[in-house]
Structures are given as structure tokens and as C-alpha cells.
Structure 1
């Protein structure tokens, strides 16, 4: 039974039908003869019936054969209709697939196992310039696309590895020469494919034209290099930061190193230190307020403030920037410059404008400003204000005997003695030549007299050594005036103290005289 079941289905079915037919025939012949003998024993009748029996068998077998044949033909038609429908579906699917491949925006080509082109879509035509009529069936297109021998060999080896060893390429870039002689850069994805029985049937390659993309990337890289070079050569530090409590830096140029001593990465996102931590705490609120005010008016801001560098030193910086949007948050973009040298110069200029260059004391103009302020304060609060007008006795003789350099030295030493002998709130100025003024806020006549005597005694009790000229003994004459007793204005107070000083000189020098006495 098992060998019969192993036969192909059509043969097994044919043998089954033939066996059934033979069995029916044998049963008919044997059965019909026995049935005739039951009804009659007449030889002539039996012979006649035998003829009709044969015709009946023919008729019966014809009907049976017709039924079987009709059934088989109907089944055959059904199978053919199914095959036709499947063929149409396959054709439609094939045409649909070919339409997709042909109209795809990316380059698609298929190679058979001999590396001949069997599919070359429109995108491949447009990019390469070669029509499919010239390409399909060829295996030498590599010489057209890659004219350089060494480069072409490397590409062919890759293609052969796909067919022979199943290499799969992803984002593999090559540069092809088009039919017009130009060059395009393509990014390839490629792999082999198989037939229904698992045999390698060829390889399919999909390429994206990335020529413009790579050109844009190169241009962007060039611009980034130029921007980096520009940033590196900018004086100071370019930045972009969030306007939050930390001044969180999003971008910092390399100028950060020279400006702060920190690496740019230290400041980015407050990794090591925040910019807010570098700002002098006493100036933080002012800086924030000035930036907010400018942004509120829609204007750029410029602000100066001191920062603490990594080495602990403090420098002044000037920041100019503007407010920008950063994903819905307020950010700042700008430039921060080191203005420490300028600040020192400004301080020096301010010092020169308000202080005597030789002695470092307040100069005449600054003393007049301070005198006016002190008079206004004394008048407002009802305080007293005393003035000492001091003249160095016999200073001309010092210059004549020891020279002007020695005279300058004497003036500097006298200035030191005066400044170190009074309170921090008192003001000492060189009014001109060898004349000095001392302002004593909230000092009455007696207190001012005691201060003046202390100054006089200290000066006359010390000998000043003059380099290369021995030593010099000094004395001073002092005129004392008190507000408002001797004058209700700065000018009146100066005039009263000056006249008192001249009375002291006329009285023999080295003494204190009070105005009005």
C-alpha cells in the first residue's frame, strides 16, 4: 500500500479510475450473464439479450466516461481560471513593483550573478546620464562610472564581495563620473537577494545622491572653521548664555582662557563654575538691573563690572550684548572684554585730576570740592567745621641750599607727617607750593587748636634726612578758622584761615594763630 501512496497524485488518480472501470466491467459481464440465465434458458433469446447487454454496457460506460471527463474538464477549467487570476495578480504586482522601482527618487539598480545590470531605474538614468538602453545587460559600466583604475578596482571588489560572501553595505559612499563628465557623490546601501529555492539571484543597490548635501556640509564646516578662527582671534570672550540666576553659558569662545583662566568647558552649563560666581557679589545686583533695563527697552546693553579670575585676581570687564530667544527662554549673546588696563588708567587719570602729583594729597581743585561739601553738611546738621591753613617756614632756603630735588623730598615727608597725624575723616590737601590745608569735620575751636599744636610740634621735633645733602629741620606756621564763627562759606573760611596763617608768620613763625584774635 505504501508504494501506491508514494506515486504522484495524477498517476494515482488515473490508476484508481482505471481499476474502478475494470472492476465494474468484470462485475457487469459476470453478473449480467448469471442474471440472464435466471430469466431464460432459450439460447436465441440469450444471444439477443447478449447483444442488447453489450449496447447497454457501452451506453453505461459512455455515461460514466462522460461524467468523469466532464468532471475533469470542469476541474481543469477551474484550475486554469485560478492560474489566470494568479498570473494577472503576479503581473499586476510585478508591474507595480517595477513602477515603484522605476519612479523611486533614489537610484536603484539590480545586478545578476555575473554582475550584469538587469534593472536601471529613472533616477539612475537622471543621476548618471546613461539611459537604461545602454546599460541593461552590460557588465562594464564600472569603467564608465569609475574611470580611475585603482578606484574602480576597489569598487568592483566590494560588489563582488556582496555577490560571493553576502557583504551588506550601508551608507557606503563613492564618487561617480556622469556621462556629461561631471562628478556626483552617492551613498550606497546594497545586499544580495535569493530565488525561491535559496540560490543567490543577484544583488540590489540603492543609492542616494548626497553631492549637494556633502557640499553644504563642507561649506558649513568651512564657515565653522572661519567662525572658530574669528572667535579665537577676537579680543575677549564671545558667549551665549541663559539670563538666569547663574548666567548659564551655552557657548563660550576660547578667549575665555585668557579672560578668566578657566577652560570653556568649565563654564558651559556651569560644569565647574558659573559666570554668576565670577561676578563681584557687590556688583551682581547692579549688573543684572542694567541688563534688565536695556532688554526692557529692546536695546543692546553695555555694562562694566569686576570678576574674579581662576587665580584669585580681580579684573574689570566690559560686556556688550543683546537679548535673544532660546527655545522660549530669554538668553544673552555678546562679547566680554578685559578692560583692566583701561580701568587702571582711568584710576590714574582720576588720581591725577584730584590729587597732587608730588605728594599724593588732594589737590587744590579737589579740596575746593570737598570744602564745599563739608560746609553744606555742617550747615545742614549744625556741626562745626575747622580749617587749618599751613605754610612750611623757610622753604625757599631749603631749595636754595639743597636743591629742588631735596625740596620735593621735604614736601613729600611733610605730607606723610600731616596725613598720618589726623583722623581718617579729616582731609589734607596741598593747596600750592609749600601751603597745605587740613579740614577737620565736627571739630570746634579748642579741638582744632589741639590738633594744630600736635601737628606743629611733630613737624618741628623731627629732622628730615635729605639724600646726599645731610638733614633739614622744619617748622610750620598755622592759621585756624572755624565754621560758622569765622565764615559761613568755603571762600570766607579760606580767607580767614589764610589771614590767620600770615599773622602767625609775622609773629615769628612756628606757631598757631586763630582767626579774629
Structure 2
């Protein structure tokens, strides 16, 4: 019996160690995934900022002429005129640069000439003209492919997260010319700080000394750490640096590709250390350029773990003395173990709850509950302090606080929607006064919920959209400026005398309509230039103007086989002799129309695949859902997830991953009708709407699409095989929102993943 008890005790001791080790490993996996997600968000933000600056026509024109003068004056830097244009470009972007530094911690804004020559470092204007081809592959690739790219890279001055986009110049004929590229970059400091709060620990980024010494100019290098033969790029605490200097830890080389998890005891505290590789833009093929290191104080958990081991060892000794009391000891031990498991589960639940509260505290979304119909605010989340400057008690204890702090011009929105319909969704935008006196723009989304006792509560969420609102206002202001500039631009005038039916045109009007200089024409000549599809609209407007209506419209014309957009405005009046006379203007607005179409494409399309982006897809899905609710027409919904896509990026690199996503988009689109809507709603997640298609039809299409994806190949990556797991659902009359069908389809995808991937699974329509 003693031997059996001894064996059980040893087994429990080993399980305790393995459980603790697995807990550390699980935590390491969470940290690494969190870092990866936050890193991707930073990349997307850099691409968005670079795209915002690169879209400015003034910046495009200055960059265009600057590149021309560098070629004319020779050398990588150019001469006098190049310097003048470079200075003008710097002054043009300076305001945006300062704002992005302040709002987004932007550290770098850099214009490049193909293939990778520095034209202007906004962050270091005196440093330009150097060739970066040998150290900045992302610049070479972006200029070669003329596509947006992002990733981590080491430069001449800084290392950090980069987003680089091509810069285009639009010629007068509407064609585009690739000038070069614009790069936005930031350090890892803000990323590390945000993650440190999330993981309840500290982080540091170590970079390979060889990579830094081979790329960064000597005057911008910090002192290298001899203990790890590396540079510390960023850290939220100096403990790791002191441990390395003192030799307390011997960390693997920063080029090691493995993830390591270990523990360290220093100054009566125990830390869990996690280290995993950091790859630059070129990915796994180049190998790591450094490592990300995190450490968390796990002293209480470690002491509890050691205490458990000590108890087990004590039992090993006591088993030889207390054989006679073995049965009683086993019962007591079982009780102790069960209580320990309960305590551990309780501790884990408390930890998870604390972590959830921490996330809610740092979340930009403030939630609230409003009791109806009294309009009494019964709850608001504590992070309202960060949003409004007021704590929750200040708001809850003051009646009508919210209405009093709402901008006077916006209060009518709150009053008008004071009694929403049950289960209806309310979405408002209004201004709220911050404690500092400034005005915040808020987006308020809420839903009225009926409780079992008959009362009603309005649950809502508030988001600060001040930056978005200011951006929209800036865009509206830019459009107004463009319209004013167009009114003093090349605008043609004309006059039509109804008595002799002669139309006299100015030189610019003749140029726009493709006629000879200062020509006289008639109405038939003018209408012949109008696009066949727009002639009825123009003639109707002409006849209505003759009867006293307004003549102000936009339409297309065809000149020498080229389609143009024009705006025509005219005033129809009788002269002193009573003869009707029309005086008007015609303006070429082709570039404006093309820009509107490009902006619409940018707003509704995914930049990489060309498919509908998540926002546009959800809008189309809401339309199809409304059609289903109104007419009962069927609509299939597919959720598609590319299998093992992370392994594609890890094995072949992010460039191959991007090609795989574009291949999927092409192959899938070839299987679809014009009315089908395919959108990218996540990294490797796609959704497909099939109007007029029931469950069986959607399943057949899903299987055909799956087979097409499985058989597709990328020429430059012959070993890359792509498969997809597909979940099939349909929109129903019972769906009150888009969430229900998406959830059913997502569950089906999850089932496909769990049953082997590369398959199609129907959703259970009874589950919501």
C-alpha cells in the first residue's frame, strides 16, 4: 500500500509541474498572438497615414517635378531646383506631419525615388540622396510592384513598423504616372506600452547587432548590449537590461527562430520570461532580425506552485511513517487536492474577470444603460473618465447631465429620439463638452430592450469619433476648395439665339466639345456631341428650361471617341425685342468624376484583393436582408476561411500570403455571377452573398468554389497549396440583424475546421 501511495504521490508531483509548465506555455502563446495582432494593426495604420498624404494632388505635383529635376540636374540629390522643390514639398507636408506625430506617434515620413533613393526625409530633412536598395527591400518591392506594402525594417536612422504606398501623378489626359513611393513609420514603443498593460507585464525588442551596424548610420546608433550581441530597440522597463548586464540570464541569440519560455528569480521575486523571434518585411526566408522578450511577475503563482510541490514531498516522507493511517491520509489528501483545484479555478476566474475589467477600462468604447421612459442614466462604464474627463459618479449623480453637456445645436437629436421603438437600433452623432472645455464628437449606438418585469432599458455604446469627424470635415472643405478653383478654371461659354437657331461658342467651349476655334454651330451640332445614353436627359432639361425651368445638369459627351463628363448651366431669358435667348457655360469635370469613382472604390474595396471590404459587404448584406424580409426571396451566405494561412506566411513569406489572397479572389470571382457579392471581412476570412439562391444551391456553389481553390496554383510558388473551409447558411425572415446568419455560417466554418478542413458544411438553421 505504501508503494502504491508513493507512486500516486510522485505522479501528482509530476502533473503539478507539467500543469504549471503548460500554463506558462499557454500564456506565452497568448502574448505572441496578441503581439502579432497589434503589430498588424500598426502596419495598417501606417499604410492608412501614408495613403492619406500620398492622395494630396499638391504633394503629388511637387514630388513629380522634384523627381524630374533630380534626373535633369543629375546625381542622387540633384542641384538648386531640386532643393527648392524638396523644400516646397517639406513645407506642404509639414502640417500633416506634425499632426500625425502628435495623434499617431508617427516617427518617420519618407519620400523615395525608384528603386530606393531617398528624396526627402521629413523627419530628417538634411539627410537625402542616399541609395537604400541594399538595406530596404520593402521600398524596392513597392516601387517595382507599384503596390502598398508594410512590415518591420531597419533603416538608416530608425528601425520600426513601416507602411509604404506608391505615389501617382495624374496627367491632364487622365492617365496616371508612377512617381515613386511614400513611407510612414513608427517605433515599437507605443505598441509595447499598450501590450504591457494588456499582458500585465513588461516587454522589450532586441535587434541583431549585425543588422543594425550594417544599416543604421553611426551617429544614430545607441550602445550595443554585449551580453546578447544586440541593441535594445524598445522596452517598457529596464529590468531585462540589468539582468543581461549582470549575467542573471543567458538568452539565446536574437537570430534564434525558436520561442522560449523560462522562469527567473531575482530579488525575492519570480518572473516568467517569454522570448520569440521578430521578422522584418522579408519574413522567415531571411530569418529573424531580433527577438521580442516579455516578463511577468508570477511570484504568487510560483510560491503556490512550490508550496504544492513541498506538500507532495512532505507526503512522500510521511507515507513511510503513516502507513497505518494511509486510508485516512488518502481521504484528507483527496479533499486537499479538490479544494486546491477549486481555489485554482476560482483564482483563474477572478484573474479573467480582472483582465476583462482592465480591457474595458482601456477600451475606447464607453457603455451605458438608460432606464425608460424616465430617461434616468443608471450605469456608465468607468472608462468614461478617459472619454469625458468626468468620473462615473459625477455623471450618474447629476440629473440631465448628458443633455446639459451636449452641444446646443445637437440637443434636438437626443430629444427627438427620446422614445425609440422596442428592439430598435438607434445611431446618433453629436458633440459633447469635455471637462477641459473642448467639444468631442461621439457616435452613440443603442438598442431598447424590454425586461421581464415590463420595464425598458436603453443599452448603448459611445465611441469618440472626433478624429474621423475632423477628417470628414477636412475632406468636405477640400471638396469646397476644389469647386471654387474649378469656377475660375477653364470654363467655356455659349449663346443660343432661338430666332436664327445659331449657337455661338467661346474658344474653351469649342475645345471642350471638340469643335474648331470660335465656331458657330446649331443645337443639332451640340446634341450630337452628347453621349447617346444621356441625350434624352439633356433634351428634357432643355425643353423644361424653355418653359421656365432650371437648366443645370451633368452629363457625358463623346469627343473623337473619348468619353468626357461636363456640367452645363444656362439661363433662358427674353431680350428687349422679346426673342428668347439662352446664355450658358459648359465645364469639363472629367477629372472630378474620375476622382469620385476612385474614392468610391477606395471606400468600398479591399486594397489587396479588390473585393468588397468588410464595411461595404455589411452594407450590401443589410440590403439583401431587407429584400428577404420584404419579398421573402432566398439569399445564400457563405463564410470562407483559408486553411493553415498562418503557415503560408511563416513558410513562404507575407508576399506569398498576399499572392495567395489575390489568387483566391480571382479563382472565386470566376465562379460567381455579376449579382453575387464576395467580400474580405478579415485577414484570411471571406464572406459571399448569393441573392436568389437557397441552401441547396448555395451548397453546390460552395463545393464548386472549394474545388476551384484546391486546384489553383501560384506560378512563382509551386509548392504552395491552398484549401478553404466553407460554412453555408441562408438569410431567413426570422433574422433581426446581420449577426444571426453570420453566426450560423461561422459555426459551420468552425465545424468544417474541426472535421478536417478543406470541406463544406451546412449550418444548422435552428441555432441562433
Structure with max Cα Rg: 1
Give 1 or 2: higher helix fraction: 1
- TM-score (structure 1 length as normaliser): 0.49
